[in-house]
Chain A
Amino acid sequence: MIRSLLDWLGNTPWSIALLESYYVWPLIESSHVVFLALFVGTAFMMDLRLVGLAFRGVPASSFIDRLLPWTRIGFAIMVMTGLLLFYSSPLRYYHNLFFRIKCVMLAIAGLNIWMFHSRIHTSIDLWDDVWTPPRAARIAGALSIVMWTGVVFSGRLIAYNWFDCDIQPQPEWVNWVAQCQIADLAQ
C-alpha cells in the first residue's frame, strides 16, 4: 500500500524532473545543509543553556522568546527542502536504513519538544534565572542535543548506499529494518 503510493509518487513527472535536474536538486540539498546552521545551531544554543553548560546569567526565557522563533523558521525551511528531496526519490529513501534511523530520531526529538513545552516550560518562572535548571529541563536539553546530532549524522549518511536493498547480500537485520523486498529484487 505505502510502497505502491511511493512508487507512483516517484514516477510523477515532477519527481523525475527533480531527480534528474542538474542544478535544482543540488540547490535544494545545499539549502537543506546550510539551514542546518540556523535550525540545529540555534536549537543547540538553547539546549546548552538548558543543560547548564553555557550562557550563565542569560535567562532561559530569553532563548525561548527571542531565539526559538528563528529555530522555528529554520525548521520550516528544513521540512520544506527535506520533503522536496524525499519527493525526488521516495521509494529509495523509504527503504534506506539511515533514513529510517533519522525518522525515529526525529520522532523522539519531536516528542521531547512536546514534553518540554507541555510539562517543563510551564514552570519556567521558578527557574528562569537559575544557572542550573531543574533535572527535567536538563534531561530535555541533553536529549535534544543527542537526537539532533543523530539526525544530522544519519541524514548525511543517507547519501551512501552501504546498506541499500539493491546491494545484496546484506546482514539479516539490515534487510529486516529496511524491509527490503528480496523477492522483488530476484526477479
Chain B
Amino acid sequence: MPPESWIGFFEWCEATVLGSAVRNSIYAFPIIEAIHLVALCVMGGALIMVDLRLLGVGMKDQQAGHLATLVRPWMVGALAVMLSSGVLLFLSEAIKCFYNTSFWVKMITLPIALAFTFLVRDPRIMKGAPSRMQGRLLGSASLALWFVVAAAGRWIGYS
C-alpha cells in the first residue's frame, strides 16, 4: 500500500470536474469502460501478433521487426485511447483506487510493460532479427507483463 499521505492527491483527483462528471452520470462510466475494452482489443492484437512471431508460432514469413513497425501506429493510437479512457475511469473513483491492491499492481506493472515494449522489445527487433532464444525471451516477457496489466485492470472492479 502507498503512504497514507498520498491520499490528499487522490481526493483532489476525485473532486476534479472530469471525475465528478463521470461519477454523476449513470451512463458515462460503463460507456468509457466499453471504449477502454475496444481499445484493449486493438492494442492486444498489435502486441500479440508480434509476440507470437517472436515465440516462433506466428507469421513466420515476416520479420518480427517489420511487423512491429507496421502495427506501431495502431498500437500507439490504441494506447492513447486506453490511457485517456483509463484516466477518466480513475478520476471518477480515485479514492476507491487508492485502497485497491489490484490498482497498485496495475500502476506498477503498466510502466514496466510500456518501457519494456517501447525501450527494449521494439528497438531490439527493429534493429534486426533476434536469435531464437532472444525472440522467445522477448515474446514471453511481453505477453506475461501485459497479461498482468490486463488481469489486474479487470480485478480493480471486483474489490
Tell me whether A and B are bound partners.
Answer: yes
Point out residues on A near B: beta carbons under 8 Å: 26, 29-30, 33-34, 36-38, 40-45, 48, 54-56, 58-59, 62-63, 66-67, 70, 148-149, 152-153, 156-157, 159-160, 162
How many residues on chain B are close to A (CB under 8 Å)? 36
Which chain B residues border A148 with CB–CB below 8 Å? 41
> Secondary structure of the B side of the interface?
helix
> Closest CB-CB distance, B24 to chain A, in whole Å?
16
Chain B residue nearest to A38 in the complex (CB): B48
Neighbour of B48 across the interface among A41, A63, A153, CB < 8 A: A41
> B34 to A66, Cβ gap below 8 A?
no
Residue of B nearest to A22 (CB): B158
Residues in B neighbouring A62, C-beta threshold 8 A: 59, 61-62
Residues of B within 8 A of A (CB): 26-27, 30, 33-34, 37-38, 40-49, 52, 57-62, 67, 70-71, 73-74, 146-147, 150-151, 154-155, 158
Contact of B59 with A33 in the complex, beta carbons under 8 Å: no
Closest to A154 in B: B34
Extra contacts besides A41-B46, A48-B74, A67-B52 (18): CB < 8 Å: A26-B155, A33-B37, A36-B37, A37-B47, A40-B44, A40-B45, A41-B43, A41-B45, A45-B45, A45-B49, A45-B71, A54-B73, A58-B62, A63-B59, A70-B52, A70-B58, A149-B38, A153-B38
Provide a sorted-by-A list of 28 A–B residue pairs whose CB atoms are within 8 angstroms.
A30-B151, A33-B150, A34-B147, A34-B151, A37-B40, A37-B45, A37-B48, A41-B41, A41-B49, A42-B48, A42-B49, A43-B45, A45-B71, A54-B74, A58-B59, A58-B62, A62-B59, A63-B59, A70-B52, A70-B57, A148-B41, A149-B38, A152-B38, A153-B34, A156-B33, A157-B30, A157-B34, A162-B26
